[in-house]
């Protein structure tokens, strides 16, 4: 009897899983393995770890209890397991983040004669697959999206009816207990939950997506990001289910954004920690105790701007933030408070259940003006206007900022204009947006001129 190892990473599912099919076809038995890698666990906040653990528990059940969960460095664990079961190969979905690429090279070298076989990836179109006519990578979304649509993803892979799972007689440490979430309530995790949520979104909600996606008080988005993060569903499965309506096409474009950011990170791995646009590396940011105090007010939802505070409190309460609101709070931190985008990106990665390195870091850079955009420096979101435009009745604000629940009508967007000022101890605006917008533009212009 021959055995293949299926090393799960960001593909915690059985459906539409090319690496699973490759492992099944290569050997008589398939040993499912997950490595608890401290290099990835240490920077993960409690919500991400808890969501991961819950995905693993379902996967353990769906592999008939055969999933082996082992703590250690992958370059030590994977070759050891492969030797113990005399594996014919170790099968994976390819990883395209900087750490994953380096890790897989170390594992491949340590495996020696046992092949590390990568089949498929966590993306609709694999990072690095699309290039411009001149052979250079894309840095702007729109032309990338056109090339992506011209190519399109493969059809979903078949789901095997049965898999000959084995534990190889090896021990498993089991899935760890969840960390303390401090009151955060997570949605159901795992492949079944992902498919159920996706089915719920399809139909009327998907068709209306173009009209509702920017309204944080409305259930107008799919909230699939955490399921995509851990591969409980493949984006190819989602693309295949989308119809021709404007809403579904718009939603498909958001999935392409995910591929785009992964592609940018593939070509520019340093952009996870540095500005993608090198000419903005000298942009002036505020530092010191006062800057730290302003960051704390932002992080705890005490800026005095209701839509910003609602978003930051949603992050702490649900480990998730509506995408429109992510842009609003990001713009406020970088262009009203003049703090470096990495501070906000790190805070998000610590608290989000869907924290994905490529999407998070490049989403922040898009807002900050240092990333993938043709003309980003003049985009400064007005937090009052954003609140009026996207939460006109203030329903989202009142949900997350209880101090303002009794404020009538549109005054909820500017509670400092009420007689007597903001109610119930809610703070006044910590900065004057018009002043800080002008200051942000001044700094961008100075940096741009200095780089010429």
pLDDT tens digits, 312-335:
999 999 999 999 999 999 999 999
Same domain, 292 and 252: no
Quick check: is 162 in a domain? no
Give the Cα separation of 139 and 253 in Å (integer). Answer: 16
Question: Do 114 and 12 share a structural domain?
Answer: yes
Q: What tokens does 168 get? A: 């190889």
Residue 198 belongs to some domain of the structure: yes
175: in domain: no
Q: Domain count of the chain?
A: 3
Do 84 and 202 lie in one domain? The reply is: no
Sheet-wide strand order for 89-92: 68-71, 29-36, 3-8, 89-92, 116-118
Give 216's contacts (C-beta < 8 A, 6+ positions apart).
310, 311, 322, 324, 325, 390, 391, 396
In a shared domain, residues 283 and 432: yes
Both tokens of 308, joined, read 């910003």
Question: Do 218 and 316 belong together in one domain?
Answer: no
CA 366 to chain centre: 14
Residues 238 and 357 in one domain: no
Q: Quick one: 16 and 70 in the same domain?
A: yes
136: its two tokens: 């250079």
Residue 210 falls inside a structural domain:
yes
| The pair of three-digit structure tokens given for residue 78, joined into one six-digit string | 């994977």
Between the CA of residue 409 and those of 288, 384, 405, 443, what are the distances in Å?
A: 39, 14, 10, 36
The string of DSSP letters for 187-223 reads PP-SHHHHHHHHHHHTTHHHHTHHHHTT-TTS--S--
Report if residue 60 sits inside a domain: yes
Q: What is the pLDDT of residue 374?
A: 60
For the full predicted model, state whether its pTM sits above 0.85. Answer: yes
pLDDT given at position 450: 82
Residues 6+ apart with CB under 8 A from 117: 19, 22, 26, 89, 90, 91, 92
Cα–Cα dist 107/116, whole Å: 8
Asked if residue 232 is part of any domain, the answer here is yes
Mark the ranges of the chain whose per-residue pLDDT is less than 70. Answer: 374-377
102 and 8 part of one domain: yes
Same domain, 296 and 350: yes
The Cα 311–Cα 335 span in angstroms is 17
Residue 178, in any domain of the structure: no
Q: Residue 206 belongs to a domain with what CATH number?
A: 1.25.40.80
Q: Which residues contact 244 (CB under 8 A, 6 or more apart)?
A: none
The enclosing domain of 353 has a CATH number of: 1.10.579.10
For residues 11 and 85, membership in a common domain is answered with yes
What does the radius of gyration of the chain's CA atoms come to, in whole angstroms? 23
Beta bridge mates, 35: 70
Residue 256 sits in the same domain as residue 295: no
CATH of the domain at 39: 3.40.50.620
Q: Give the position of tokens 């409980």.
A: 232
Residue ending a domain, among 120, 145, 172, is 120
Instruction: Give the residue numbers spanning the domain of 354.
Output: 278-451
Strands (E), 260-363: none
**Domain boundary pick from 245, 267, 289:** 267
- Choose one of 235, 267, 299: the last residue of a domain: 267
Together in a domain, 306 and 253: no
Q: Is residue 183 one of the residues assigned to a domain?
A: no
pLDDT, residue 165, reads 98
């Amino acid at each position: 009897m021959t055995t293949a190892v299926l090393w799960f990473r960001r593909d915690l599912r059985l459906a539409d899983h090319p690496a699973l099919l490759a492992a099944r076809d290569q050997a008589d038995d398939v040993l499912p393995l997950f490595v608890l890698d401290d290099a990835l666990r240490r920077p993960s906040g409690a919500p991400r770890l808890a969501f991961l653990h819950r995905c693993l528990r379902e996967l353990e059940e769906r592999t008939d209890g055969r999933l082996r969960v082992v703590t250690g460095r992958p370059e030590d664990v994977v070759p050891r397991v492969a030797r113990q079961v005399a594996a014919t190969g170790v099968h994976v979905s390819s990883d395209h983040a900087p750490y994953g690429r380096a890790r897989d090279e170390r594992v491949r070298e340590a495996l020696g004669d046992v092949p590390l076989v990568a089949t498929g990836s966590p993306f609709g179109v694999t990072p690095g697959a699309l290039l411009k006519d001149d052979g250079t990578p894309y840095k702007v979304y729109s032309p990338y999206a056109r090339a992506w649509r011209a190519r399109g993803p493969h059809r979903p892979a078949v789901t095997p009816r049965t898999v000959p799972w084995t534990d190889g007689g090896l021990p498993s440490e089991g899935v760890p207990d969840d960390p303390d979430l401090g009151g955060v309530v997570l949605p159901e995790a795992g492949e079944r939950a992902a498919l159920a949520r996706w089915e719920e979104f399809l139909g009327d909600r998907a068709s209306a997506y173009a009209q509702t996606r920017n309204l944080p008080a409305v259930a107008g988005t799919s909230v699939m990001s955490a399921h995509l993060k851990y591969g409980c569903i493949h984006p190819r499965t989602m693309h295949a289910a989308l119809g021709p309506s404007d809403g579904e096409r718009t939603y498909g474009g958001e999935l392409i954004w995910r591929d785009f950011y992964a592609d940018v990170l593939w070509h520019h791995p340093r952009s996870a920690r540095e500005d993608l646009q090198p000419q903005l590396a000298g942009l002036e940011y505020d530092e010191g105790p006062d800057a730290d105090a302003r960051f704390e007010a932002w992080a705890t939802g005490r800026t005095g701007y209701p839509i910003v505070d609602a978003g930051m409190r949603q992050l702490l309460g649900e480990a998730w933030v509506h995408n429109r609101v992510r842009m609003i709070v990001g713009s406020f931190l970088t262009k009203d408070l003049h703090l470096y985008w990495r501070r906000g990106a790190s805070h998000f990665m610590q608290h989000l259940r869907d924290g994905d390195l490529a999407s998070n870091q490049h989403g922040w850079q898009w807002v900050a003006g240092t990333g993938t955009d043709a003309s980003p420096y003049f985009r400064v979101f007005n937090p009052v206007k954003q609140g009026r435009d996207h939460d006109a009745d203030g329903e989202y604000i009142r949900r997350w900022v209880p101090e303002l629940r009794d404020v009538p009508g549109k005054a909820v967007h500017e509670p400092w204009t009420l007689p007597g000022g903001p109610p119930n101890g809610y703070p006044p605006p910590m900065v004057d947006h018009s002043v800080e917008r002008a200051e942000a533009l001044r700094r961008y212009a100075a940096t741009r001129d200095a780089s010429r």
